[in-house]
Amino acid sequence: MAWTTPATAVANTGLPAATWNASVRDNLNFLKRAIDGVTAQVTTDKSFGTTDSTVVTAPSITGNGTAKVKITISWFGVTPNAGITTARMRIMEGGTYLAQCRLITDNSSNTSCGGSLSVVITPTAAAHTYLFAAIRDVGPTGSVVACHAEYPATITVEQFV
């Protein structure tokens, strides 16, 4: 749904329901979505390996080519199976990463790295689907992005109008 130029009222004429809905209802919904953003979350642990593994995917948004979009991912923890693991948390669209951060976790000291990462971009005038992905650079298999009902992994996309 995109913003539409509201109709101009003319004295002593009726306003058809379709015009009212497009001018008022649909534009208010567009503004509300721009304020609220769209969020997706996952509440169960997600394993990842040496290729990009999707943790959670945001609902699709439609860019207009000029409005900025802020994409934020957050996670409760990254837990290695054993020893030291180096991993990257990424914000991606398709096979392209838009932002990433690198984490080092150490199972021997029972550490877990939680955090968040944001990027602001101007998407093209088209539909876009962003995702939160994790990839392991170094360390044993079995690393997970720890996700729970109280502490889900999330991705939020906020459109600025």
* pLDDT tens-digit readout, 71-127: 999 998 887 777 777 889 999 999 999 999 998 877 666 556 789 999 999 999 999
Q: Which of 126, 123, 133, 114 is nearest to 157 (CA)?
A: 123
Question: What pTM was computed for the model?
Answer: 0.76
* The two three-digit tokens of residue 95, written as one number: 């096979």
- The residue type found at 16 is P
Whether residue 20 is predicted with pLDDT greater than 70 in this model: the reply is: yes
pLDDT of residue 11: 86
Which pLDDT band, with edges at 50, 70 and 90, does 36 fall under? Answer: low
SS3 24: helix
pLDDT of residue 33: 63
d(CA 122, CA 93): 13
Q: Which of 127, 119, 118, 123 is nearest to 67 (CA)?
A: 123
d(CA 42, CA 157): 15
pLDDT of residue 108: 66
State the residue for tokens 């939020």: 156
Return mean pLDDT, the chain: 86
Whole-angstrom CA distances from 9 to 5, 15, 25, 27, 29 are: 12, 8, 16, 16, 20
- In the chain, the domains with their CATH numbers are 38-159 (2.60.120.760)
Q: What are phi and psi of 109, to 5 degrees?
A: -105, 15
CA dihedral 109, 41, 94, 46 (to 10 degrees): 40
pLDDT of residue 54: 95
Average pLDDT score over residue span 55-68: 91
